[in-house]
Amino acid sequence: MKIFVLTGAGVSAESGLGTFRDKDGVWTKYDLSEVATPEGFARNPALVRDFYNARRANLAAAEPNAAHVALARLEAALGDDLFLCTQNVDDLHEKAGSKRVVHMHGELAVTRCHHCQATRPDVGALTAEAVCAACGRDGGARPHVVWFGEMPLYMEEIEDALAEADLFVSIGTSGSVYPAAGFVSEARAMGIATCEINLEPSANAYVFDEKLYGPASEVVPAWVEKVLTQG
């Protein structure tokens, strides 16, 4: 059985990384148009770098939880029959042992040059003075994170994997940010079984065939156990 798993901020919530739209979520404290758009970066790059430097510091201290560990176990058992697509920019799936994670919204621990688009792994602080090793210019260091108004990454690979899947499972995501929020309807239209795992019903919960509600750290390991024992 080929399984396509989509994860969102809810899978990392119990690792201490904030979600976005919940009460006390990141977007209740920060104006996303200021810190998560190309226009915001052009207006005030220092504010944007400070925001992501704080998130890099939080990430350095975060550990994967039982949900990440269970998904790594599922990958170890299924190999290429598991496609793990995440909207998360954290590296907790990798820290838990997942090897083939597709980060459609980019990665926090990667720096991109806004001038030439060169990327490099980097967990240090983003600064205006940093000189890009590829183009030699300064002032362009930004996180390799997809901002609002930018195209998500790996969409062709993702669409191909979705079309091949027998089961689509959405874990800990609000169902309100496209294109990821549309995957469940695409899956349904292709006759693929769908399952939502979340703390509570998401915005598009009504589209899913199966719904499992509770903390990801409890529900995901139980679901993985069921898949591995019942097939």
Which chain residues interact with ligand OAD by CB under 6 A? Answer: 8-10, 13-14, 19-22, 25, 36, 87, 105, 146, 172-174, 177, 198-200, 202, 215-216
Rounded least distance, CB 137 to ligand OAD, Å:
25
Q: Which residues are catalytic?
A: 105
Query: CA 17 to CA 28: how far, in whole Å?
Result: 15
Nearest to 92 by CA among 178, 197, 179, 16: 16
Rounded least distance, CB 176 to ligand OAD, Å:
6
Q: Return the number of the residue (36 or 169) whose C-beta is nearest ligand OAD.
A: 36
Q: Return the number of the residue (140 or 172) whose C-beta is nearest ligand OAD.
A: 172
Tokens of 48: 């944007």
How far CA 95 is from CA of 98, 102, 117, in Å, comes to 7, 14, 26
Rounded least distance, CB 27 to ligand OAD, Å:
6
How far CA 128 is from CA of 8, 80, 115, 131, 136, in Å, comes to 30, 41, 13, 8, 13
Rounded least distance, CB 218 to ligand OAD, Å:
8
Q: Return the number of the residue (103 or 162) whose C-beta is nearest ligand OAD.
A: 103
Q: Return the number of the residue (43 or 135) whose C-beta is nearest ligand OAD.
A: 43
The backbone torsions φ and ψ at residue 65, rounded to the nearest 5 degrees and listed phi first, read: -110, -175
